Structure 1
């Protein structure tokens, strides 16, 4: 059996989608060591994994994407954040390599310094992406603004014109910073997103068709394995059993992005509807929000048991929260605030599994209408659920990892 070293960025939304894969590898007899958020080390050890804490300096570099005025600005801020973190996660990952001496490594796609160190290391190397990676694909719009795919020559022309404006701006920001990091680590410079992200031996992406667009030109290096929705075991609160009305789950980001307006608007929009709203604010509850009688506002509650009784989920567009609902066949209403959320919202709309409401247009009346429309899209959500199952989930990911182990490091 092999020794596997996994390394995440400092975000629960990146740890939790990777956890089923690591547990599957552990169940198959592999030694799995995980370096992740210090707050989660105990929980991961309780699951049977070896675990150690990330350098806490990585948590001090906050992703300020809520400051962006547009998608291009948001991409630039993301590039700046991940480049700054690279100087912390590169030596952190190297220390883990030295301590664990793995046969294979799995590195989070946003740990850019660790990715460069994995490349220098030269052994079998897997990139794990909990969101659609920003790499090109024929017939797919450029990543970022959430454009609707347009088939045929018109779509190809639009994408060719827009791509330099979107990805080009981010790549011009990326190259100087990340190449400076790469030079210090001793690996070649990169020229763009594809050049950077496709250097791994294998990329596992936690989504699949029909929620995700078709990407036949990604194979075999990039493999979509389904939603991989996971959350830590936790006792359910007593108040959940007291709710008798259909539930609407409202989620905000676990990493602060100033999206509390979504909860405030949802409570207002649905206060007179025959539902019970369960709203979670894991980045911190806003104590000024007035909670109506048909709602419960908490910092965190396990989403799974709530979704088992839900008729719709209203999400900020985080891939984890959105796909957790769809993996149960629950339709979504997505209100994107930034990051990859514009892309997630558009995919919900295009796949027929949910509705989309831009944050700039968010008000109670519009949200109420979009939530009611989403409630009619259960058949689309069920199609997405079936697509996730076909993709194979953690077992398919583990099969791919073991295939890479058998093949060994490339020449």
Structure 2
């Protein structure tokens, strides 16, 4: 029976990209899928057969300097502002004649998703494109200081918004829970801190890569030189000094370095070399099969792509979440994290050399690769979405 599924997602590629293969499968199975996203995602949404309900995303980007927890809280308030001012009214109007049977959302979109689910009587399913949270382990607890004035202000603002639809304070706090009654985790349980404590409310499926390889291909210039892929993601690529440091670290030509700098970005004059290849954009999935290691900001999407191909990861964190991710990789022995106070060209090069040439590291990475690939992927994720659909369709 065909149903209507809506994806409410924070407009960031690391959040959105892992859902596309799931959406494609849902459409293939006969369901209608609508994304609530900014207009720039239109071509990708159309490519999987879904529809797009747009709003003008006006949030600010992260700064180029290292971002602390209070700055993340400020960004969260920006998200809350455009949620209440843009997402909620756009979704109410756009879905007025055809409300979704199920809303799939991540925590950054919980305000609009949970409010509208109450209004429409829609079922909900929360997904985690990053480390999940339960009563025993919380990403938010790892990142935020509960005594911070910025955190207190952020919580007060969310409660103020929720009070407009729910007068009971206890119910307002329940609406702020970091998880739902049904949760889809797009990474392997083995990567999740305290993964054994996550109960039947959570389904870990691994990373949901697309079924077809990227249209853009890449091959190394020589089979005799190891390849390192360097990418700082779409939110952290303003950190030009990191790219410069990477160029300096590999200037001796012992590695072939592929850098994705971001749209409109160029490496400063004098830093390019035959062994350093730069692109504004290049799919990770085209390079990683040929690479030995990934150097990245620590976004979970980039990490999972590397692990899918059995590549260790050096994390140069930009935000507290990236630092948590990097520490988890280091704890598991499948990566290294280099915080700002430990980062220079020598430490970066040493970390890459050590990971790429240590047999024990590579064995552990291979085990995580197997766990990720055997998790069920997008097919299992689509099954979970279908199971969350209500027993009867609207109308």
TM-score range for the pair, normalised by the shorter chain length: 0.7 to 0.9
Q: Which one of 71, 74, 77 corresponds to residue 77 of structure 1?
A: 74
Residue in structure 2 matched with residue 126 of structure 1 by the alignment: 125
Structure 2 gaps, min length 5? none
Aligned-pair distance for 1:28?
A: 2.0
- Flag the 1:188–1:108 CA change in 2: closer, same or farther, 3 A: farther
Residue in structure 2 matched with residue 25 of structure 1 by the alignment: 26
Aligned-pair distance for 1:27?
A: 2.2
Residue in structure 1 matched with residue 207 of structure 2 by the alignment: 227
Does 2:173 match 1:173?
Answer: no
Q: Which secondary structure state, in structure 1, belongs to the residue aligned with residue 203 of structure 2?
A: strand
Residue in structure 2 matched with residue 259 of structure 1 by the alignment: 239
Residue in structure 2 matched with residue 347 of structure 1 by the alignment: 328
Residue in structure 1 matched with residue 288 of structure 2 by the alignment: 307
TM-score, scaled to structure 1: 0.83
* Number of residue-to-residue matches in the alignment: 384
Structure 1 gaps, min length 5? 146-164
1:281-320 equivalences in 2 (<5 Å): 281-282=261-262, 284-288=264-268, 290-320=271-301
- Flag the 1:260–1:122 CA change in 2: closer, same or farther, 3 A: farther
- How far apart in 2 are the matches of 1:351 and 1:236? 32
- Flag the 1:79–1:47 CA change in 2: closer, same or farther, 3 A: closer
- How far apart in 2 are the matches of 1:240 and 1:363? 29
- How far apart in 2 are the matches of 1:123 and 1:107? 12
Cα pair 1:267 1:291 within 8 Å, conserved: yes
Q: Which secondary structure state, in structure 2, belongs to the residue aligned with residue 223 of structure 1?
A: strand
Q: Which one of 90, 100, 103 corresponds to residue 101 of structure 2?
A: 103
Cα pair 1:68 1:74 within 8 Å, conserved: no
Cα pair 1:80 1:173 within 8 Å, conserved: no
TM-score, scaled to structure 2: 0.86
- How far apart in 2 are the matches of 1:8 and 1:206? 14
- How far apart in 2 are the matches of 1:192 and 1:251? 40
- How far apart in 2 are the matches of 1:187 and 1:394? 39
1:142-153 equivalences in 2 (<5 Å): 143-145=141-143
Q: Which moves more between the two structures, 98-107 or 320-329?
A: 98-107
Aligned-pair distance for 1:48?
A: 2.0
Q: Which moves more between the two structures, 248-257 or 181-190?
A: 181-190
- How far apart in 1 are the matches of 2:172 and 2:374? 32
Residue in structure 2 matched with residue 155 of structure 1 by the alignment: none
Cα pair 1:129 1:203 within 8 Å, conserved: yes
Q: Which secondary structure state, in structure 1, belongs to the residue aligned with residue 277 of structure 2?
A: strand
Aligned-pair distance for 1:288?
A: 2.3
- How far apart in 2 are the matches of 1:363 and 1:180? 44
- How far apart in 2 are the matches of 1:85 and 1:203? 25
Residue in structure 2 matched with residue 54 of structure 1 by the alignment: 54
Aligned-pair distance for 1:316?
A: 0.6
Residue in structure 2 matched with residue 275 of structure 1 by the alignment: 255
Residue in structure 1 matched with residue 114 of structure 2 by the alignment: 116
CA RMSD of aligned residues (A): 2.9
Cα pair 1:41 1:53 within 8 Å, conserved: no
Q: Which secondary structure state, in structure 2, belongs to the residue aligned with residue 355 of structure 1?
A: strand
